[in-house]
Amino acid sequence: MSAPLLVTGGSAGIGARLVSSLAADRPVVVLDQAAPAAPVPGVRYLAADITDPDSLTDLPAPLSGLVHCAGICRTGPFLDMPARDWTRVLEVNLHGTLAVVQACAPSITDGGRIVLFSSGTAFKGPAGLAAYAAAKAGVIGFAKSMAAELGARGITVNVVAPGLVATALSEDLLPAEPATIAARAIQRPSTVDDYVEPVRFLLSDGAAFVTGQTLVVDGGAYKH
């Protein structure tokens, strides 16, 4: 059996949809705070806090790769944001990314894959999302340096940056969804299904020469 793929944040939202798809043709291990109410058959679920490196010491090895979806969001004007909220957003979304990658990278087989999740907010910088946009922009910069450091082992490091998609993470932002849809070239709501095939490509043999890149999946709201 091939080495498993580790998916963080795989109990809900985009992560859960990725797990249900990817587990059909490869072994998958999920790292999240708790298992979902309806676990995917054959998937192993591990409980951990990504901000606590001590809880990341019992991960399986070797690994074929990592898909890091775990994250949180806090909204509100930056002038009124409590320092604890700013710190928490960076702690989970940016520092947690470092902790997970440090725990996993030594166990990822040569030629493996790392896919991180950022956000379209890192490019658009919408009002009310300063901490989230800053943390997710940091993920992109981190991925570029990681790609340079891990390239000698043939490990690719890429980023998916979703647009607004209706999940528990984005619940506070959904009132803005009509305006978001209107700004897209493809004017429809985004769903968790929209991220399955982009991630599959980045995990595939066909993406072996693609690294240090960010793929924005937002229906054409941000074009570059």
The span from the CA of 114 to the CA of 129, in Å, is 26
Q: Which residue has the tokens 């890192």?
A: 122
Give per-residue burial for 28-66: e unless 16+ CB within 10 Å, then b.
bbbbbeebbeeebeebbbbebbbbebebbeebeeebbbb
132 included as an active-site residue: yes
- Catalytic entry in 45, 132, 195, 222: 132
SS3 166: coil
The span from the CA of 111 to the CA of 130, in Å, is 36
**What is the set of active-site residues?**
132
